[in-house]
Structure formats: C-alpha cells, structure tokens
Amino acid sequence: MYLGIDLGTSEIKIVIIDDTGRLVAAEGEPLTVQRPHPQWSEQDPAQWWSATNLAIGRLRARHSDLWSRIRSIGLSGQMHGAVLLDEHDRVLRPAILWNDTRSAAECTLLTRLAPELHAVAGNLAMPGFTAPKLLWVAEHEPAVFAAVRTVLLPKDYLRLLMSGEKVSDMSDAAGTLWLDVAKRDWSDSILAACGLTRDNMPSLVEGSAPSACLKADVARAWGLSEQVVIAGGGGDNAASAVGIGAVNSGDAFISLGTSGVIFAVNDTFRPNPQSAVHAFCHALPGRWHQMSVMLTAASALRWLCQILGTHETALLEEVAALSLEEQSRAPIFLPYLSGERTPHNDPVASGSFHGLTHSTERAALAYAVLEGVAFGLDDGLDVMKQAGSHISQFSLIGGGARSPWWAQLIADVVKIPVVTHRDGAAGGALGAARLGWLAVGGNEAEVCRKPEVHARFEADAGRAGQLESRLKRYRLFYQQQVEARRLLP
C-alpha cells in the first residue's frame, strides 16, 4: 500500500492505493485562507499539520486492516507558497500563498536585479511565485527577513515535520523562480538577487526518488514503521499529471480546482515567458512541462454559491436545464477574482458580470461563471499553442471534473476532445501516492498507467457560433477594464 498526501489550498487530501494502482481509501480535512488585507492570501502552517494528523487518524481508524502494509508516502502540494523558518526551524510568519498578489512591485525589481531570470527560470516574475514574496518581506518586514534561515514550500514543510529533513523536488522548486529549470539545480545568481543563498534552500531530489523516512515520533504517532519512505513528490499539477498518466511528451490535462490549469508534457525545456506560459520541471526525471494558469476556476462557482446561499450540485442542475437561447442571454463573467496570470499577468484584474438585467436569474449567473472559466482556459490554450504545445485530447481532473455538463462546455469552447476518469477528483493525492510507489522500486510503465476513461466529450459544432460571439465580448470586456483602470487617479 502507498499513501499520498496532497496539501491543497482548501483541503488536505490523503489517499491509499494498492499495488494494482487502485484507489482504496481517501480522507480529507478542510483548510481556511486568511485575507487580512486586499491582495493578501495567507495560511498558518500549523493548520496544515493539524489537518494532516486529523485526516491520518481517521484513515488509520477506518482502514486498520491496510495500515501496516503502507510502504511509502508521496507528497503533493499547492505551489509557490513561502514558509519562512528561523534558525530553530520555527515559523516566522503566516505562509504567503500562491494566489497572494501583493508583490507586483517586487516582480519589476526582481526582473531588474536578475536580467537572466527569463532564460534561467523560464518564466516571467509574477506575484504568485515565491521569489518576489521574499523581496516583499525584505522591504516591508525587514526583521522577519533578517531572521530567515530556511525557505520551504508548503508540502516540504510537512516533510520537515514528518522526517526532520529539508528537501524539495524539481517540479515544486521550479515554481519558486530560484531554480535553473534546464539544469534542475538552484540558481546562485537569482538567489543572490533576493539576498539569499542555496544554504537557505532545501536539498533537491527528483519527485520519484526517496527523500527521507518518517521520524521515530511521527511513526509512533501514526502507527507506521520508521522505514516508510517519503518520496520527493511534486507540485500539485505535476503530481496530478502523474496521477492521470500524463508523463510523456504530448500528454495533457485540464485541472479544475481552486485555480484552472492547462498542463502539457514536453521532453525538453521550452520556455516562452513573454506569453505568461509557465515552463517547469516535471515530477519525473528528464521531463518538463508547459502550463497556463488562471487563478480562479472552480473557486468562482463556490464563491457564487456562497453569495446565493445554495449548493453547487443544486446550481449545476439548474444550469443544465437552461436552453441554448437562455444561455445566449446570460451575462458575461470575467473570472478574475484573484487577478490573473496566463495570459494577462495582471494581478489587479477583477471579476465582473456584464449584461445583468431585472430578468437575470441565478441559473444564468451560474452559467456565466462556468462559461467564463472555460473562456479563460481557452485564452491560456491560445498562448500555449503559440509556445509550441500540440494537444489532441485533454483529461479533465479536479473537483470541477465531477460535472459532465461543465466538461462538455469546456470541450465546446476549446474545440478539443475532453475525457474524464474514475478517481479524477483525487488529483494530486493520487499522483503523490504513485510517486511514493516509484520511490520504493515501482516500474514507471506500470505505476503511471493512464486510468480508464469514464466519459468522453466531443466539441459540439452546433454551439460554435454562439460561443465564439460570447468569447469575443468576454475578451473585449477585459480590454475595457484595462482601459478603465487608466482613468483611475
């Protein structure tokens, strides 16, 4: 048995798979995000550890017959977060998360201080990445910065508490902007531009390699052997790719979670930062990937449900009952509730509905949200094509993959077939468990099999004209928002 732990933004998810690759058990524990100021997004790392222990405890109690057979643990997690530790490994401040956009000015500074950034890191400096966050701390919290001895990514902080070791993997480290992505090693010059050295960084391993074993006290508390191996693991999207078998050049998926991601595997490093496409290491050796990221996806639907006081399932049923004529009259929604990355690199972009009337009902609002996310994915796909990605089919994963109606809409918008898989919502946790299996000798071809297709969605040519017209308006409304901001004092 192999355990996978995924530290998401809204939930800790833990799964167990067996040596046939079957998902046999799963548990989750919710997390909360703190937003003390506009553009801020933070979490207390102590919450991650508490949630992990609660979920482990329930999993152990409900599946005691499996527990003694666990041989390894894989880790997956939200990328880019900054966990700052002092010389005694104490957390100095709340972790600054991937969707925190306060460090826009520091992105400009980093680009000036490290002119080699785009070529070496393969990405534009964006507020979501880790490096600008440290420049912000240096400027606004100098006492905290002076006390920093180690910077860890979120899942790697869990590893530290589990094992006592400071280790990261290539895919997650690539999202810091401190990694030389082609060489798969820390860049001394970019670290120096942020007032850091590799002594402040964890050591690096491939995601499928062993990184540590459980500490004795954690092993006792969890009822596991001290010989349980912890794999290097991966950033959430790279781990999700492993989970659905996207491990070879040309494989691709869309993830509908808090954020929306298009992920395409490459056998070489193909940076194209000018279009805000990300180029990162994969969680497996000798592979890279391109990625477009929209900061708000399924979380936009959750946001709307909270406002309307309803549940996603009920709202999706109402959307599915809309006629094409009713869809054509729905508002246009810009899903930029946390700013946007690909393709706009616009941390102050904002969400909005366009075309509201007295007759607008909540089903139309929900349709607009689902459509707006699909349009945002299409924007990202356009620039990935320009960056050299060739995609013939998408797997759809994440919480949003549970909605066949949304899957069909995405296929209609991007004009590429979309398939869903059994256990597709398991995402990074499933991939983490597979990486754990690889770390104790699993064969890649066996471990990373593509899961059985649950459903296939072909683009409906009959909707193309209506959607293309609405997509043009969607893009126009964003440009109008940019123009309107220029009028602000």
Residue 41 backbone phi and psi in degrees, to 5: -150, 115
Q: What is the mean pLDDT of residues 143-169?
A: 98
Q: Which helix (H) or strand (E) holds 204?
A: strand 203-205
Helix and strand totals (H; E) in the chain: 19, 24
SS3 286: coil
Q: What is the pLDDT of residues 49-102, one digit of tens each?
A: 999 999 999 999 999 999 999 999 999 999 999 999 999 999 999 999 998 989
CA dihedral 231→236→238→240, nearest 10 degrees, is 100
Q: How far apart are CA 78 and CA 9, in angstroms?
A: 6
Q: How confident is the model at residue 8 (pLDDT cuts 50, 70, 90)?
A: very high
Residues known to be catalytic: 236
Token readout for 196 is 């850091």
Q: How far apart are CA 486 and CA 479, in angstroms?
A: 11
Amino acid at residue number 354: H
Residues 6+ apart with CB under 8 A from 317: none
pLDDT for 272 beyond 80: no
CA 339 centroid distance within chain: 15
Which of 29, 14, 13, 30 lies closest to 66 in space, CA to CA?
14
Residues 6+ apart with CB under 8 A from 329: 364
**Binding site annotation covers 170?**
no
Which of 224, 186, 180 lies closest to 53 in space, CA to CA?
224
Q: What is the mean pLDDT of residues 289-305?
A: 93
Least confident piece of the model among 104-113, 249-258, 320-329? 249-258
List of domains in the chain: 2-244 (3.30.420.40)
Least confident piece of the model among 149-153, 206-210, 422-426? 422-426
pLDDT at 423: 66
Q: How confident is the model at residue 257 (pLDDT cuts 50, 70, 90)?
A: confident
pLDDT at 399: 81
Token readout for 63 is 């599946």
CB 45 within 8 A of CB 38: no
Q: Exposure pattern of 249-269 as b/e (b: 16+ CB <10 Å)?
A: eebbbbbbbbbbbbbbbbeeb
pLDDT at 425: 62
pLDDT at 57: 97
Residues 6+ apart with CB under 8 A from 349: 334, 336, 339, 340, 478, 481
**Binding site annotation covers 79?**
yes
* DSSP symbol at 463: G
Burial status of residue 325 (CB atoms within 10 A of its CB: 0-12, 13-18, 19 or more): exposed
Burial status of residue 312 (CB atoms within 10 A of its CB: 0-12, 13-18, 19 or more): middle
Q: Within a 10 A sphere around the Cβ of 318, how many other Cβ atoms?
A: 16
Q: DSSP secondary structure string, 323-373?
A: -HHHHHTSPEEE--BTBB-TTT-BTT---EEES--TT--HHHHHHHHHHHH
Q: What is the pLDDT of residues 365-424, one digit of tens each?
A: 999 999 999 999 999 999 988 877 889 999 998 888 889 999 999 999 999 999 998 766
